[in-house]
Amino acid sequence: MGLLRKLVLSVVSDKTAAAMEADSRSWILTCPACGYEISIWDLGGIRYKATGNQRTYMKCRKCGKRGWHRTIKRA
């Protein structure tokens, strides 16, 4: 777990922490090269009450190629 995420979760209530985790798990990054998908939570991040579909330039954990990973919210 990332240091910032640990800090944030330590100062919020258990109910809010659970809501943050659930919301962050619904945000998925998709690799443009191989289609590999991973949630923001599994990457060590938090995306709580967010809007919009951002793009993040990063290296894919599966294929190793760098590219603009799309972020979408799954219901």
The one-letter amino acid at 5 = R
| Residue ranges covered by each domain of the chain | 3-73
pLDDT of residue 6: 87
Q: pTM for the whole thing? A: 0.83
| pLDDT confidence band for 1 (50 / 70 / 90) | low
pLDDT digits (tens, 9 = 90+) for 48-69: 999 999 999 999 999 999 999 9
Q: How far apart are CA 25 and CA 21, in angstroms?
A: 6
